[in-house]
Amino acid sequence: MADWVLLGLIGALLVLLLLTLFGFAIYSGLFSEVVVSAGSPPIRNITLAYKFKVGPYGECGKVFMESCSISPKLCSIGVYYDNPHTVPPEKCRYIVGCILSEGEEKPSEELIRLFQKFGFKIFSFPAPSHVVMATFPFTTPFSIQLAVNRVYPALDTYIKERKLCAHPRLEIYKGDRIYFVCPLARQGDFYVPEMKEMERKSRVAEADDAQTDITGADTLSETSSISLEATTDSRETSVATSILSPFAAGRGRDELDNRSEHSYSESGASGSSFEELDLEGNGDGSAGQPSDLGYAEEQETTKAKWAKEPTALEKERGEE
């Protein structure tokens, strides 16, 4: 009889434990609805203290803890530049830090010096004009894991269905909410200097490789022509040369034009216009169209941008 009582107590404790865990998961946002929309951003222009890292996104928690320990009351932010589904974990690039000020407010010099003392750098992001965004409850540390597993698939589906170019991916921890924000325009403004420098070096390396391929193909074409002329006077020489040269030149152009397949910037296949989106806000369709931004002109500009959004550094390199 005593054995049955003991087993009953153990069973009751297990049930209570499972119910507690289930309640904790619900409180963390297990059944929270994920709504993805396009429209005005939840933030204005910001100044942040950040650290740039290259490696698995799963290791970003260490930097989050470090930044929060410096100033626990500040909002945390993470920016993720690469698609973890296509980029090896050790090559993923991201920044993590804290928002020092927002809008017209200026960050205190004391706060800036404090973060710089611990190796953080200071940078500013403009207020994005239009974004794809979603929110998720931030009630427990477990909320972060639930948000990553539920929000990002919904964002990817939304962006893919509408053929948008939305990158990079921003996570903003503000109060009891996590804001997931993907800018639809001026994406290059959200690239920190370290990221811009890596992109520049990558473009230079791709251009050098393409030039090497073109030079090698042209050399092969000339060698083939000389060999054939020495052997025979047939018209096959000119045919071989005419076929090989355009192939090499075309291949070089393709490699110069192609961007990295791994960046979030490649998520927009063709790029849709803002007028095709259901912009959320005031309910009258005007929320995502601030009058001081020259919305009509921006529509035409972003049509070309979304298919292949260059960074600010790429534009400077193109002008040179």
Q: What is the reported pLDDT for 213?
A: 64
pLDDT at 196: 93
Tens digits of residue pLDDT in 78-114: 999 999 999 999 999 999 999 999 998 899 999 999 9
pLDDT value at 283 more than 60 = no
Q: What is the mean pLDDT of residues 116-139?
A: 94
pLDDT in tens, 173-219: 999 999 999 999 989 999 999 999 999 998 888 887 777 766 555 55
Mean pLDDT of the region 45-56 = 96
**CATH, range 33-196:** 3.20.80.10
pLDDT-above-70 percentage for the chain: 66
User: Which of the pair, 92 or 320, is modelled with greater confidence?
Assistant: 92
Burial class from Cβ neighbours inside 10 Å (0-12, 13-18, 19+) for residue 154 reads: middle
Q: What is the pTM of this model?
A: 0.69
Which pLDDT belongs to residue 277?
Answer: 59
